[in-house]
Amino acid sequence: MRKETTIWIRVCVHLLLCITLGVQSSEFGNTVTDDITRISLLKQNIPKDYKIPVTYVPKEVGGMCWVALNVFHLELSLRGLADKFGSISSNKYNISILIEMLKETRYHMKNLEAITYDFECHYRNEQWQTGHYFHFVEDFLKTARLNRDLPEECDPPPCPTATMDTTIITQYPTSGNEPLRFLPEVVERSLLSLLVIPIAAVVFLFAWKVSCPLTQSTTLKCSK
């Protein structure tokens, strides 16, 4: 009797374990499937040429810290997108689910503010079309599931240096025997017109001095 009771207890324990593991695995599978379904629906419902603003750090720059560097800014981007839809919109609901996933991911990470500050010069502000944007969201969620823990060290690479523009020399095409112009034709005409004024003034003063001799009383008297 005791042996039969022990056997039944073992069978019940194994059965409960199998049921628990089966439920957990099915929940995980459904979560992944639901994410892909929601993203696919959003791609279909939002116009393809719609530009969605996003601030991000590229994968090749963020490395192992890529998820931590993008989780907060991606959440802000999705919130801004959700505000474009009405309260009863299915798009708003699906986006809100994605936002909750990002909040949960962010909850398990520490020192995000310090890491974000260290990589500040590597963030890019762009506007992506719908397909590109949600491909980024899907890639982020998949990567976040594989890397839930924040690395101990996130060392940023050197900030990109702004390239200084050198002086641009515009070469105007010449044809035949036309001389090479160092200045645009309009500028040359303007300079020539400005030169006419001082030349005319010099000629006027010279003519006036010849016709008006200087007297001893230092007054100028024009001869009639």
∠ CA 60-61-63, nearest 5°, is 70
Residue 90 or residue 220, greater confidence: 90
Residue 110 or residue 172, greater confidence: 110
Residue 55 or residue 14, greater confidence: 55
The DSSP code sequence of 87-147 is: TT-HHHHHHHHHHHHHHHHHHT---HHHHHHHTGGG-EEEEEEHHHHHHHHHHHHHHHHH-
pLDDT score, position 19: 43
Q: Which long-range contacts (CB under 8 A, 24 or more apart) does 144-147 make?
A: 144/67, 144/71, 144/101, 144/105, 145/32, 147/64, 147/67
User: What is the Cα–Cα distance from 102 to 72, expressed in whole angstroms?
Assistant: 8
User: What is the Cα–Cα distance from 203 to 198, expressed in whole angstroms?
Assistant: 9
For residues 87-94, give the mean pLDDT. Answer: 93
Residue 119 or residue 23, greater confidence: 119
Q: How far is CA 100 from CA 35, 47, 71, 73, 206, in A?
A: 12, 24, 11, 14, 88
pLDDT score, position 186: 57
Residue 111 has pLDDT above 50, yes or no: yes
Q: What pTM did the predictor assign?
A: 0.59
Secondary structure (3-state) at 43: helix
The pair of three-digit structure tokens given for residue 149, joined into one six-digit string: 């823990």
Tens-place pLDDT, residues 127-181: 999 999 999 999 999 999 887 666 667 889 999 886 433 333 334 344 444 444 4
Secondary structure (3-state) at 53: strand
pLDDT score, position 169: 39
Amino acid at 217: S
Q: How many CA atoms lie within 13 A of 99 on its CB side?
A: 15
Residue 111 backbone zone (phi > 0: left; psi -120 to 50: alpha; other: beta): left
Tens-place pLDDT, residues 21-56: 343 333 333 455 567 788 999 999 999 999 999 999
| Residue in the structure block whose two tokens are 């001869």 | 223
Res. 98 pLDDT band, cuts 50 70 90: very high
The pair of three-digit structure tokens given for residue 34, joined into one six-digit string: 């639901």
pLDDT score, position 74: 97
Residue 224 has pLDDT above 50, yes or no: no
| Cβ neighbours, 10 Å, residue 215 | 9
Tens-place pLDDT, residues 57-75: 999 999 989 999 999 999 9
Q: Report yes or no: 54 and 136 within 8 Å, Cβ to Cβ.
A: yes
Tens-place pLDDT, residues 171-207: 434 444 444 444 556 556 666 666 667 777 777 777 7
